[in-house]
Structure 1
Amino acid sequence: MQAIWKGAVSFGLVHVPVKMYPATEDRDIPLRMLHREYKEPIQYRRTCPKCEQEVPWSDIVKGYEYEKGHFVTFEQEELEQLAAETSHEIRILNFVDMTEIDPIYYQRTFYLSPEETGEHAYRLLVRALEATRKIGVAQVTIRQKSSLAAVRVVDGVLSLVTMFYAEEFRDRSQIPNLPEEAKVDRRELDMAKMLIDQLTGNFEPEKYRDEYKERLTKAIEDKIEGRDIGTVPEVNTPNVLDLMDALQASLKLLKPLEETGKGDKAYKRRRAKNQKNRTGA
């Protein structure tokens, strides 16, 4: 795997030389846009509206429009110089408890591996974060983009998760049709909590499947073989208008599954834990 970044994690005066690797990969099935008649891929050209000519990459600069039609431009070297000061450092600003960061802040995860000269410091930081159950809040510049980041341990490996800055979140007042604060029917609330309890379990990521990707893969194979892909059967969702009826029907639907799994030790532990959380014991 090709490293996409090389630098060091720093906290205080401690520097841990690391290389960065993507922790995830895009598994989407690539679909290209074609001309329906000729089945040829559509091309996009970089053209200038003034000279109406295609512009090579060597003649392209980046610019900021400070007034309509007026730009200040930056050469690539200028942008690199602006980023140079922090481009090779993951600077940890402080440490926080693992539960303090809401997942809404997280963007993309990367793995960090140690350089040969930094293996001892790397292992030390991993052990220290595991022992204290802390996450390092850091700043990092990757490909000329500055990001807030979280440095944490995943399965014994240092990872970095890029994060949004607080200023990047929209104010909730911009969201239309938010319900006003209102009292909730006690019986409905109790049944909703029961339904959540019945559907509560451990997070097992391997059991979740990309069903759309599976259907698309099958459809591609059928089309290659000249078979009709047919239509995806519609899901028959019961038309339940009353909220209480919907809650009762949902609990009734889950009851057979509960009866089937009651002998499972993991199920019993989960039920006891959920009951403890509800009672506050």
Structure 2
Amino acid sequence: MARSIWKGSIAFGLVNIPVSLTGAEVRPDVQLHMVDSKNHARIRYERVNADSGEEVPWDRMVRGYEYEEGQFILLSDKELESVEPKLTKTIEISEFVKLDEIDPLLFDKPYYLEPDKRGRKAYALLREALRKSGKAGISRVVIRTREYLSAMFVRDDVLVLMLLRFPQEMKASAKLDLPVSSDKEWQPAKREMQLAERLIDEMSEKWNPKNYHDEYREALMEYIEKKIRSGDTVEDVKEGDEEEPKLKGNVVDLAAYLEQSIGKKPKAAAARKKPAAKKTAKKAVKHAKKSASKKARRSA
């Protein structure tokens, strides 16, 4: 049985649905510790006064806000508690919006909502109403001591509560140096666009997240287990550095690259089974560029 973070209720108009909130994500990270190479002892971090260098005990530690360099406003636990959001166990839906209108960049952390036995019928009602409408319920929820903006929507037979980032937490993209879509210099040629669309169609698949997994974590754990089995006598495995293909000149024949790509869509399963796929792809790109270059010389 999943461990719930808290038990409360969903307020859907005058309908009250008792639920429990459960984390929906698992992070099986490989934990690496900082260790002294001399005697393999764990490294301990100390709380040190930046001016005196002396270690500071816990009972002297307070929180402070630096409003100017070197100038702090000290805040006690009691003062912080006075401005904390009112602890509530109610997820009160304030409005409904189309789910596809919420920018995916605002999605932060998912939770599952599980109904209490008394609220199963009302839970099913809200779930099916949301499913049919394609909308999400917007609400504010307090988890531990922090208030979050959230969106409630349906996935399969479960109501998902997705914590959202506030728009102010997102960096604006306006300061990035990007090719402006309205600038004629960056307008794609008709043939390039047709080939790009054709390649996208050819490489399109039905989304299946089960096809993807954390390859780095698996490789790291496999290597660690190998070192353990061998008594830590395994030599470092280092792959040779490969140079990225260099472009000749500033003009790139996109149509030629796209033509080379069409009909050569890699199979997802094969790509996962063969670690050398990246090297093969690099060789293919290199070959495509050579072919395009030869074609250009012949045309000239």
> TM-score of the superposition, structure 1-length normalised?
0.79
Query: Contact between 1:3 and 1:19, CA under 8 Å: does it hold in 2?
Result: yes
Query: Contact between 1:5 and 1:20, CA under 8 Å: does it hold in 2?
Result: yes
Query: Contact between 1:135 and 1:151, CA under 8 Å: does it hold in 2?
Result: yes
Distance of aligned partners of 1:206 and 1:236 in 2 relative to their CA distance in 1, 3 Å threshold: farther
**Within 5 A, what are the aligned runs for 1:1-281?**
1-49=2-50, 52-85=53-86, 87-175=88-176, 177-181=177-181, 182=183, 183-224=187-228, 225=230, 226-232=233-239, 242-254=253-265
CA deviation after TM superposition for structure 1 residue 235, in Å: 7.3
Whole-Å Cα distance in 1 between the matches of residues 14 and 151 of structure 2? 19
CA deviation after TM superposition for structure 1 residue 77, in Å: 4.3
Query: Contact between 1:96 and 1:135, CA under 8 Å: does it hold in 2?
Result: yes
What is the root-mean-square deviation of aligned Cα atoms in Å? 2.6
Distance of aligned partners of 1:68 and 1:203 in 2 relative to their CA distance in 1, 3 Å threshold: same
**What secondary structure, in the 3-state scheme, does the structure 1 residue paired with 2:256 have?**
helix
Whole-Å Cα distance in 1 between the matches of residues 109 and 263 of structure 2? 39
**What secondary structure, in the 3-state scheme, does the structure 2 residue paired with 1:15 have?**
strand
Query: Contact between 2:85 and 2:146, CA under 8 Å: does it hold in 1?
Result: no
Query: 42-51 vs 153-162, which deviates more?
Result: 42-51
Query: Contact between 1:94 and 1:136, CA under 8 Å: does it hold in 2?
Result: yes
Whole-Å Cα distance in 1 between the matches of residues 153 and 198 of structure 2? 34
Distance of aligned partners of 1:61 and 1:158 in 2 relative to their CA distance in 1, 3 Å threshold: farther
Whole-Å Cα distance in 2 between the matches of residues 173 and 84 of structure 1? 33
- Letter of the aligned partner of 1:7 in structure 2? G
Q: How many residues align?
A: 255
Q: State the Cα deviation string for residues 142-173 of structure 1 (Å, max 9, x = none).
A: 23222211111222111111111112222222
- Letter of the aligned partner of 1:188 in structure 2? E
**What secondary structure, in the 3-state scheme, does the structure 1 residue paired with 2:174 have?**
helix
CA deviation after TM superposition for structure 1 residue 229, in Å: 4.7
Distance of aligned partners of 1:34 and 1:251 in 2 relative to their CA distance in 1, 3 Å threshold: same
**What secondary structure, in the 3-state scheme, does the structure 1 residue paired with 2:226 have?**
helix
CA deviation after TM superposition for structure 1 residue 100, in Å: 1.2
CA deviation after TM superposition for structure 1 residue 107, in Å: 0.5
Q: State the Cα deviation string for residues 159-197 of structure 1 (Å, max 9, x = none).
A: 11111111222222222x212333211111111111111
Query: Contact between 1:140 and 1:146, CA under 8 Å: does it hold in 2?
Result: yes
Whole-Å Cα distance in 2 between the matches of residues 105 and 223 of structure 1? 41
Identity of aligned residues (%): 35
| Structure 2, unaligned runs of 5 or more | 268-300
Per the alignment, residue 285 of structure 2 pairs with: none
Kindly report structure 1 stretches of 4+ aligned residues shifted beyond 6 Å: 233-238
**What secondary structure, in the 3-state scheme, does the structure 2 residue paired with 1:33 have?**
coil
Whole-Å Cα distance in 2 between the matches of residues 74 and 156 of structure 1? 45
Distance of aligned partners of 1:29 and 1:198 in 2 relative to their CA distance in 1, 3 Å threshold: same
Distance of aligned partners of 1:58 and 1:158 in 2 relative to their CA distance in 1, 3 Å threshold: farther
Q: State the Cα deviation string for residues 186-239 of structure 1 (Å, max 9, x = none).
A: 111111111111111111111112211121112112222133352346679766
**What secondary structure, in the 3-state scheme, does the structure 1 residue paired with 2:114 have?**
strand
Per the alignment, residue 266 of structure 1 pairs with: none
Whole-Å Cα distance in 2 between the matches of residues 83 and 6 of structure 1? 20
Distance of aligned partners of 1:147 and 1:26 in 2 relative to their CA distance in 1, 3 Å threshold: same
| Structure 1, unaligned runs of 5 or more | 258-281
The higher radius of gyration belongs to 2
CA deviation after TM superposition for structure 1 residue 251, in Å: 1.0
Distance of aligned partners of 1:117 and 1:250 in 2 relative to their CA distance in 1, 3 Å threshold: same
